[in-house]
């Protein structure tokens, strides 16, 4: 009898391990697909974001997630302004051609700029520490010229001036700004009257005197965007919702050949929400469970702000929001934002994790404004934001690709969230 019992236990353990492996494979497939070149960085060029929204909507339909809209669409449309880079992207310093994304980034608000040759004047800003020294340096700048700005961090430190401030003051110039270390791109909803290029200093020629530059940008004042929304009805309390959110957008393209894939940020969180949708269609809870995938997060939480102002059901019916962003690597555990103000829910998460060891550690953090939970918090809705504590530094760059994600403990995080939802739904 003991032998049969041992064999049964081993069988159950093997089944459990197989289920976990299947979960991880499924999540990896979705992340790989969402961060592939066919989605163009899920941004504002080549309908990348729109294609990602259609992909999520297709998953919802196949899984049996219900739409909130009576016409059976899962899409919530809105419009936003955004500056895009759909065309050519070229930079040569002296005789050295640089690689966009890896060697340099264009300021996301830059206007178009084309020149086969421009002389660059070097301006060293290391002595700019007060208004007098700043006034002296300013006299060097003339319109329609090219400048290499050295020690630009000094102006930022002492005068609180960003390089974008230069662009607004010194119109229609081009600025080459050497940067040491990681290059990080963003999305802008506005434009500046100049062109700024941030260049990794280790790839620059020793003495830069001239440049060839082609920057094609296009400002879209009314870009059409979509949030993707769906839900599973509760078995006992269908008018009360536990909500899982993530942003599916990323930075898109910087020119024809440079893509920011956004595997960790945030194909990983999107895939995890899709997995939870898959799970809860098969295991309905007492509360309704909603799934909201937002666009426009990288431009300033635009999609979730729009939703908070135009919700598809009253915000008062939300029991709790869990926002998932950058969950592709939880090697060192997870961080829970708003843990200090949502102590009861954080304690519940912690208790579940201590009992089952799903992730190595839960770290506490106070409120932040850097992800979609904030739009709900500002509207008075109880919300937390969970992100993974990983080991690789790829963020808002061309190196955030699916093969770089470890997916360490992402399966544990999914099971932690399932147990957490079940406990909340049971009134814990």
pLDDT exceeds cutoff 60 at 252: yes
Please report the pLDDT score of residue 5 as a whole number. 58
Please give the average per-residue pLDDT across 295-304, as a whole number.
Answer: 98
**What is the rounded distance in angstroms from the CA atom of residue 380 to the CA atom of residue 394?**
33
pLDDT exceeds cutoff 90 at 169: no
Listed in sequence order, the DSSP H helices in 123-258 are 131-138, 152-159, 163-169
| Nearby residues of 105 by Cβ (< 8 Å), 6 or more positions away | 183, 184, 185, 197, 198, 254
pLDDT exceeds cutoff 80 at 307: yes
Please report the pLDDT score of residue 13 as a whole number. 46
Please provide residue 368's backbone torsions phi and psi, each rounded to the nearest 5 degrees: -130, 165
Q: Based on the number of CB atoms within 10 Å of its own CB, is 199 exposed (0-12), middle (13-18) or buried (19 or more)?
A: buried
The DSSP output letter for 269 is: H
pLDDT exceeds cutoff 90 at 333: yes
The DSSP output letter for 263 is: I
Of the listed ranges 128-132, 207-211, 342-346, the one predicted with least confidence: 128-132
Map 25-66 to HEC letters: HHHHHHHHHHCCHHHHHHCCCCCHHHHHHHHHHHHHHHHCCE
**What is the rounded distance in angstroms from the CA atom of residue 409 to the CA atom of residue 359?**
6
Is residue 391 within 8 A of residue 252, CB to CB? The reply is no
Please report the pLDDT score of residue 14 as a whole number. 47
Q: Which two tokens stand for residue 353?
A: 């994790």
pLDDT exceeds cutoff 80 at 399: yes
Which pLDDT band, with edges at 50, 70 and 90, does 12 fall under?
very low
- Residue 251, Cβ neighbours under 10 Å: how many? 27
Of the listed ranges 108-112, 132-136, 251-255, the one predicted with least confidence: 132-136
Please give the average per-residue pLDDT across 167-192, as a whole number.
Answer: 91
CATH topology of domain 88-215: Glucose Oxidase; domain 1 (3.50.30)
Please report the pLDDT score of residue 411 as a whole number. 94
- Residue 378, Cβ neighbours under 10 Å: how many? 15
Please give the average per-residue pLDDT across 244-256, as a whole number.
Answer: 98
pLDDT exceeds cutoff 90 at 70: no
Please report the pLDDT score of residue 138 as a whole number. 86
Please report the pLDDT score of residue 164 as a whole number. 83
In the chain, residues under CATH classification 3.40.630.10 are: 23-82+221-425
Pairing outcome for strands 237-247 and 89-93? unpaired
- Residue 352, Cβ neighbours under 10 Å: how many? 20
Which pLDDT band, with edges at 50, 70 and 90, does 3 fall under?
low
Of the listed ranges 51-60, 140-149, 202-211, 213-222, the one predicted with least confidence: 140-149
The mean predicted confidence, pLDDT, of the chain is 94
Share of the chain above pLDDT 70, in %: 95
Please give the average per-residue pLDDT across 312-317, as a whole number.
Answer: 98
Collapse the DSSP code of 387 into the 3-class scheme (helix H, G, I; strand E, B; otherwise coil) and give the result: strand
Collapse the DSSP code of 210 into the 3-class scheme (helix H, G, I; strand E, B; otherwise coil) and give the result: strand
The CATH H-level (homologous superfamily) assignment of domain 23-82+221-425 is Zn peptidases (3.40.630.10)
Please report the pLDDT score of residue 71 as a whole number. 79
Is the bond into 359 cis (omega within 30 degrees of 0)?
no
Please give the average per-residue pLDDT across 7-33, as a whole number.
Answer: 72
Please report the pLDDT score of residue 266 as a whole number. 98
pLDDT exceeds cutoff 90 at 170: no
pLDDT exceeds cutoff 60 at 53: yes
**What is the rounded distance in angstroms from the CA atom of residue 28 to the CA atom of residue 105?**
29
- Residue 294, Cβ neighbours under 10 Å: how many? 29
Which pLDDT band, with edges at 50, 70 and 90, does 163 fall under?
confident
| Nearby residues of 373 by Cβ (< 8 Å), 6 or more positions away | 245, 321, 323, 337, 338, 383, 384, 385
Of the listed ranges 131-135, 367-371, 383-387, the one predicted with least confidence: 131-135
């Amino acid at each position: 009898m003991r032998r049969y019992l041992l064999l049964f236990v081993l069988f159950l353990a093997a089944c459990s391990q197989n289920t976990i492996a299947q979960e991880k494979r499924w999540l990896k497939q979705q992340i790989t697909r969402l961060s592939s070149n066919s989605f163009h960085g899920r941004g504002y060029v080549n309908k990348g974001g729109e294609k990602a929204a259609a992909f999520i909507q297709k998953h919802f339909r196949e899984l049996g997630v219900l739409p909130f809209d009576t016409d059976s669409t899962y899409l919530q449309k809105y419009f936003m302004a955004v500056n895009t880079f759909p065309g050519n992207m070229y930079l040569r310093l002296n005789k050295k051609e640089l690689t966009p994304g890896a060697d340099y980034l264009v300021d996301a608000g830059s206007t178009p700029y084309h020149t086969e040759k421009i002389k660059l004047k070097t301006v060293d800003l290391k002595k700019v520490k007060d208004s007098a020294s700043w006034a002296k340096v300013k006299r060097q700048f003339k319109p329609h010229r090219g400048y290499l700005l050295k020690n630009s961090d000094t102006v930022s430190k002492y005068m609180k001036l960003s390089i974008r401030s230069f662009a607004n003051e010194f119109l229609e110039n081009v600025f080459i700004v050497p940067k040491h270390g990681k290059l990080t791109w963003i999305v802008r909803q506005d434009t500046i009257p100049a062109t700024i290029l941030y260049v990794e200093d280790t790839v620059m020629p020793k003495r830069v005197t001239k440049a060839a530059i082609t920057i094609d940008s296009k400002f879209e004042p009314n870009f059409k965007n979509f949030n993707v929304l769906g839900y599973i009805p509760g078995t006992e309390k269908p008018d009360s919702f536990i909500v899982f959110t993530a942003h599916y957008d990323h930075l898109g393209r910087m020119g024809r050949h440079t893509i920011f894939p956004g595997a960790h940020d945030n194909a990983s969180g999107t895939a995890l929400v899709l997995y939870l949708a898959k799970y809860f269609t098969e295991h309905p809870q007492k509360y309704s469970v909603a799934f909201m995938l937002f666009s426009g997060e990288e431009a300033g939480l635009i999609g979730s702000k729009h939703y908070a102002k135009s919700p598809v059901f009253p915000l008062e019916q939300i029991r709790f929001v869990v926002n998932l962003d950058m969950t592709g690597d939880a090697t060192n555990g997870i961080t829970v934002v708003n843990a200090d103000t949502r102590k009861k829910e954080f304690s519940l998460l912690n208790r579940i994790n201590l009992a089952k060891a799903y992730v190595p550690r839960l770290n506490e953090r106070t409120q932040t404004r850097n992800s979609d939970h904030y739009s709900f918090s500002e509207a008075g809705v109880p919300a937390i934001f969970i992100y993974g504590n990983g080991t690789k530094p790829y963020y808002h760059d061309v190196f955030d690709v699916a093969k770089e994600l470890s997916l360490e403990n992402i399966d544990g995080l999914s099971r932690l969230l399932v147990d957490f939802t079940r406990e909340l739904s049971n009134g814990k």
